Each structure stands twice: as C-alpha cells, then as structure tokens.
Structure 1
C-alpha cells in the first residue's frame, strides 16, 4: 500500500484518474489537522466503479488546505479502478469484493488489504469513519448503518436525509462499527449521476471542518428504514435488461427499474419477467438469520415477478455482472419506515 503523509497540492496529479494511475495500488493518505487531538477516518473507492468520494477527496487535496482535525484516508480498489475502461470494474477480476473482506479469514489479497486497513485504523484511533460509495444504477443519496445511534444518524445527515439500518452481515467495513468508533456507509447516488459528485463534495466539507459530526443538528429530518433484504440471483442465472421479455433468459428486468431507487412501490409492481418454470429457483431472498423470506417480499404471477407488499427499493443495479455477483436490489417493507425529526 502506498502511503502519503501531508502531500502538497503540487505533489498530486491534476486529475483523479491521473492520480490513480500514478499510484497503481491501494493508497493511505494522512493529513495533519489544524488541531491534532482528534482524528477522523475516510474510505472511498472500496469498489473500483464508484468514484464520487475519490473525486471529492482529490478536489479537496488539490486545494492544499488543512482539515479541522487529523484525517486518515484509504483508497483501496485502485487496481480495479484503473483497468480500462476506467471505473468499469467493481472488483479486480478474479478477486473478492473488497467490502466483503473486513472479517476473517484474511487469507487472500483483498482480505490481507482489509486487515491492513483495520490495523492502521486501530493505530491511529479515529473517532469515526465514513465509507463513501456510489450505487451502480441511478439513485438518490442515502446512508447505511448496522444499528441505530445518534452518532450514526448524525454522520449520515452530513450527506443525506435517508438512512437504512441493516441487520444483514456480509463482511462490510461498516459492520466493524463500535460505540467508540462509529462507521457509516454513504451512498452518494448513482456512479454516473452528476449530483452524486456534488453530494460527496458538500458532505466531505462538513466532515472535514465541522466541530462536531456525531451530534444530529436541531431541526434535521431522517427517513429511516430497517431490516432490508437482498434479491439475489444464483450464478448460473441468465439475465437481461430490456423493455419486454428477452427470449431465452431466466430473468428479464425492466431497463428503467432503477427509477424506483429509494422510491416507494405498491404491491404488484413488476420487477422482472421470468422465463420458464425453473426461474423461481434462481431467486433468493433471506433475512439476517438466513431464513427464506421470498414470499413476504415478492410473488410470482404467471411469468411475472412482482412485489408482494408495499416496499422501498434501493441499490437497484442495471448491470448484469453486479446483479449476478452481488444482488439485483435491496428492499425494505414500508412497515419498517420511521421518521426521525430533531
């Protein structure tokens, strides 16, 4: 891992893309703050196709300013990001998803990098950590945390008024969150949405210069959703994105399904056309305990996969590779919706 300590603006390439190519591997950056009694952590580009956090960080570094408190940054998935075409690959081909590697075993290359990141965070003792992402489909901004706390709500509120509290455990960095060092995932919006860069930039400014970032400001509003599930596909599933069923596929997803990202959908909303009687066997929906809860969230009517109750959908992807390697979407029941006003 490359290590940069207090780099000057002149030492950094003029664009994020040139910077990544010059580094060529994962990067740690430490910037001493105007005040040094506290440190804040930041991770971005855990997935190589999610550049908004990197764009915001690079823009700020080029300004040559100091944060209010020390800042410890990690940019892990540089090798995946710089594969041509840049920002296409979520993970380096043949390797595990970096954001599934933050618990043992740390035996492979992504696992060893995750372990090193955790060890360096432990050495610097940050008071909190943000992990900045994009979604792969068009989406508004939102945050994800693993349990409800005032600190988590405040961290997410720097970027968004939408918060998902998940009890799913996948090996993500945010699952390392503790009362001593809360960790929040920030989804700035779709990787190709211009507003995502703006969300990342504005939120980063607050994180770098605000005196207190773990106390929710008075008058702030949060839409909070709990206990989401993932609609996963078995690896052998054939999938297409189109405006009507594509002959020969197990699953054809409406091309504009990502328009529902963080939107409420009614019961009976079309999620996909199914091809053949075996298609349901390609679909998996499990809760945090591993129980099959497919029928609580979705149902099959003829050759249509539809919602079984009013849902909030998010992280809908329109990329077949991500749908197969990760999931097609997340869903939370409207009954799990709570409004937080301070």
Structure 2
C-alpha cells in the first residue's frame, strides 16, 4: 500500500491566506492539518477541499483567519486542507484517487493510503478533545444552502440549525467525514451552493465565527418551527453501462436539461426525468440507506420516458455536470420528517 504523509503544522505558512485553490499546492504540497491555539482549548475542527473544486471553505477560512490576525481566536481551531492536488486542477478528485469524502472510518472502500490518513486525523482530533466538526462543501447544481447531519441528537441539530433552517439527515454514503466525526463530537456538513458565489463565502465565514464563540452546544430540542428536516431515502446513480447526456440525442439516456431545477422541490409521481432507448431496462439505480436496491420503487419506464414513481419525493444535488455524475451520483431522494 502506498503511503500518504499527513503534514501537521501549528502555524500559518506565509502566503496561505492569499492562496487560491489552484496555487495552494505551492504552499501546502500535501494534505495538511493545521492546529491554531485559542482561548478555549477544545478545538473546532474544520475540513475543506475534500473535493478539490469546492472552494468556498478555503475562501471563508482565509477571511476568518485574517479577522483574527491581531487578536486571539475565541476557541482553538484545527483545519484540514484535503485534496490539494485535485484543487490545483480544479477537479473534484484526480482519476487515480478515491473520493476524499468517502475515505473516513466506516468507509466501504478497501484500505489505502487515504483511508489510513483519515483514520489518523480522527485519532489526532479525538486526543485533542475536539469540540465540534464542520465539513464545508459546494454543490455543482442549483441547490439552496443546507446542513447535513448523521445523527438526530439535539447538539447535532443545534449545530446544523445555526447554519439555517434546512437540514438533511443521512446515513449513506458510508465513509463521509461527518459520520466519522459523529462518533467523537457533534458534526455537520455544510452545503454552500455553487463555488465562486460571494454569499456562500460570507455565510460560511459568519457560521464559523459563531461556532468559535460557542461555549457549549445546547442539548435542548430545536423547535419544530425553526427547522425543515429531511431524510435521505435513496442515492441515485446512472447505470454504469448506460451512456447519457443532457443535450445529445445519440445516447441511451437523454436527461431533461432543466432537471436541476427540481432540487429541494417536492415533485409528484409521474414526473418525467428524461427519455431512454430502452423500454424494459431502467437506466438508473437507486439504493436506500442500507444499500438495498429500491430502483423499481422509485422509478419506472413508460413509453421510453423515465418517470419518478414516488409522491412527495424531494431530490437534492441534481447537477448537469456529467463528470460529477459519473464520479459520484445523479442525485439523492429525500422525504420530510418531523421532530
């Protein structure tokens, strides 16, 4: 098994606060964990660039750290700079790499250098008595800002609702950072819209600054009127043997070009997602949170149309980026749950 060294620092290298995702590798040539001391010793852990083309976390942290250049941090802060090599190419991951948000303890991936590194990070942060964990991401499709949790315990929901009222609970896919850290502290994933949007950077900056000022996370229940809570019931992928497109007719599956506009909208059964050359084979695969195939419960083919079968289903993370769909998935399907 190849090795992947984890670089650890207790200071900010010169130029870090001005670096772009594409130039960051000149300052941090490998995945790096930086520990910065603050008034409260138990650190806030923040991971960024687990996907190299998701830049909001980097830009928000740069602004946050500039804010505290001449004053102490309210709380210690540990920052993991993840897939720096993919960031240099503005890609989610390189072709020879695993997804950096599938490598964490609990993963279904075989052991590799990246999974060993992730285990080491969790072990380091456990010994440091981590206060809370925040993993910052972007979407490629049209999505609102929302937070994700892997547990419905009150401190997790309090941490999530601090970002906004839209919260998604999921337990699959396996190997995500949030699920690994949920074993040792309240943990949340932030989905901050598309990269390059100033509002996303400002929203994360404000959120992280608020987290640094928290003395503790409340165990009181979030009020039902203050949260819109959804449960991910299935992950949807395009069948690996099916070629697809949003704009070419010479493919097995022609998906609707306005598909991403369905994100976070409850859609009725019978909604058309695209057209297929096959009248019997459903060209997508849906798996529930336990890994069971639920394709036929969610989709059907009628006269060449790919239809959603379920009423009151809400998709998320639908994107028109065909590379991301191949590397990850087409979308997730959710349903509303009540506290």
Q: Name the TM tier (shorter chain).
A: 0.7 to 0.9
The question of whether the paired residues in 1 share the 8 Å contact of 2:140 and 2:321 is answered with yes
Report the CA distance between 1:320 and its aligned residue: 1.0
Q: Indicate conservation of the 8 Å contact 1:250/1:279, yes or no.
A: no
RMSD (CA atoms): 2.4
1:24 paired residue number:
29
* 1:131-186 deviation line (CA, Å, top 9, x unaligned): 11111212111111122111111111121211111132421112224464122111
> In the alignment, which residue of structure 2 is the partner of 1:175?
179
- Consecutive unaligned residues of structure 2, counting only runs of 5 or more, are 1-5
TM normalised by structure 2 equals 0.88
Q: Given the superposition, is the C-alpha separation of residues 278 and 54 from structure 1 closer, same or farther in structure 2, using an over 3 Å criterion?
A: farther
Q: How does 1:36-185 map to 2 (within 5 A)?
A: 36=41, 38-63=42-67, 64=69, 65-83=71-89, 87=90, 89-103=91-105, 107-178=111-182, 180-185=184-189
Unaligned stretches of 5+ residues in structure 1: none
For residues 213-270 of structure 1, what are the alpha-carbon distances to aligned partners after superposition, in whole Å with 9 as ceiling and x for unaligned? Answer: 455697671111124211112323211123xxx3221222222322222222222222
1:255 is aligned to 257
Are the aligned partners of 2:146 and 2:192 in contact in 1 as well (CA < 8 Å)? yes
Is the alpha carbon distance of 1:107 and 1:295 closer, same or farther for their aligned partners in structure 2, counting shifts above 3 Å?
closer
Q: TM-score, normalised by structure 1?
A: 0.87
Q: How many residues align?
A: 327
Distance 1:59 1:20 in 2: 19
Which deviations, in whole Å up to 9, do the C-alpha atoms of 1:114-142 show, x marking residues without a partner?
12222221231202211111112121111
User: Do 1:234 and 1:324's aligned partners in 2 also have CA atoms closer than 8 Å?
Assistant: no
CA contact (8 A) 1:157 1:216 kept: no
Instruction: Give the alignment of 1:166-245 within 5 angstroms.
Output: 166-178=170-182, 180-214=184-218, 221-242=226-247
Contact kept, 8 Å, 2:151 with 2:182, in 1: the verdict is no
Shift of 1:76: 1.0
The aligned residue for residue 337 of structure 1 is 337
- Cα distance change on mapping 1:254 and 1:199 into 2, 3 Å: farther
Q: Provide the rounded CA distance (Å) in 2 between the counterparts of 1:93 and 1:82.
A: 14
In 2 relative to 1, CA 12–180 (structure 1 residues): closer, same or farther, beyond 3 Å?
closer
Q: Quick check: 2:50–2:83 contact (8 Å CA) kept in 1?
A: yes
In 2, the alpha carbon distance for the partners of 1:106 and 1:123 equals 25
Instruction: Tell me which of 3, 7, 15 is aligned to 1:2.
Output: 7
